[in-house]
Amino acid sequence: MTVPQLDIAADLLALLGDSRTESRPDIQLEALTLAVAADLPVLLWGEPGIGKTAALTRLAQELELPLTTVIASVHEPSDFSGLPVVGDDPAEQGVPMAPPDWAVRLVRAGKGLLFLDELSTAPPAVQAALLRLVLERRVGALRLPPGVRIVAAANPRSSAADGWELSAPLANRFVHLHWTHDHEVVVRGLGGTWPRATLPRLDPRRLPEAVEFARRAVCGLLGARPPLVHRLPDSESRRGGAWPSPRSWDMTLRLIAFATAAGSSRDVLSLLVRGTVGDGPGLELLASMDRMDLPDPEDLLADPAGAVLPERGDLRQAVLDGVVAAVRARPERGRWDAAWALLVRALETGAPDLVVVPATTLATLRREDWDVPAEIERLAGAVSLAQRADRVAAVRG
């Protein structure tokens, strides 16, 4: 008996669709899963065909969540706010708003991944109807259960079919992640192996510490920079992205707590923070968080032999500058000597050029009756070499 060609074609399609997953570092995917774990709506921005839908499909499969896809641009506002259903006695019972079938299915399942696709092609009236769904998880008279997560996708207006700018109220409800393709990931994926999307492993012992750290980080920055609490962008296009508001700062605080409890990398945290309050405020927050854990200059001066200096060059430079500033504020012979010992330690454990400016400044603080410490001889060569290199670079420039 001859096998029908369409059955053979179906077998071939099944083989082409067969794939496996592997553990592979992917900061985009990790940022996405962390935001999903934190129960925050995520909006993936990317050019058409970049793999946003495929990533969401894999995420739903890995998390064992039923995927419900809703194309926002082909729906009416009533599909999200609910259709009025007139009962027997509307004067007494009111007019309930009936939810669409996809919302009913999510409520019955008790969990799921709601994927709002083509968000940037939804007209303003539909975007307005989506506000309550994204923030309050309500569709008509139904409230989506806690097990439902919301992820949306959009194309930039320049590449979207009849695209609209996202309204500021709707944009401010999302964590914005800019989705790009990784050449190696695409090649391995086409070969049948995609990165595995797994929820972050939260350390139960770090939860109180993570919450305290997140609150200290956000409140510390906003206390010092009040204008950052709420800053609505001037241009319509920027309003459709990430910008700071009390709502988005609350989302940022939650993401910092989750990232801290999960031990996520700074790159992942950077994507999330900048995708929630914008690049400028996000970078300020990250820089402020870096400084939070810097050692106290007084502790370093008290025990220079046991000092542990940051590995990152910019943080190490900040620490050394702080030590010199502390000596300038209270110039004493013992503190001056301790500062030189710290500079020697920095020279032995890091880049020589980082000690040039602190050493030069520290030398100007010497009093006439202070002997030159032996440590200066160990620093002299490195400082002279670094200064010579700076002069050569200046001449070439």
The model's confidence at residue 389, banded by pLDDT at 50, 70 and 90, is very low
Q: Check whether residue 149 and residue 48 sit in a common domain.
A: yes
- The last residue of a domain, from among 161, 195, 229: 195
Give the whole-angstrom CA distance, residue 18 versus residue 24.
19
Tell me if 106 sits within 8 A of 145, measured CB to CB.
yes
pLDDT at 90: 61
pLDDT in tens, 218-236: 999 999 889 999 999 988 8
What total number of domains does the chain contain?
A: 3
User: Domain span at residue 102?
Assistant: 22-84+97-195
Between 209 and 386, where is the model more confident?
A: 209
Place of tokens 């030590």: 323
pLDDT at 198: 82
What separation, in Å, do the N-terminal and C-terminal C-alpha atoms of the chain show? Answer: 80
Q: Is residue 10 part of a domain?
A: no
Q: Is residue 17 part of a domain?
A: no
Tell me if 153 sits within 8 A of 52, measured CB to CB.
yes
Averaged pLDDT for residues 93-103: 75
Q: What is the 3-state secondary structure (H, E, C) of 324-371?
A: HHHHHHCCCHHHHHHHHHHHHHHHHHCCHHHHHHHHHHHHCCCCCCCC
Q: Check whether residue 342 and residue 250 sit in a common domain.
A: no
Question: Mean pLDDT across the chain, nearest whole number?
Answer: 86
Averaged pLDDT for residues 231-248: 92
- The last residue of a domain, from among 292, 314, 330: 292
Q: Check whether residue 191 and residue 229 sit in a common domain.
A: no
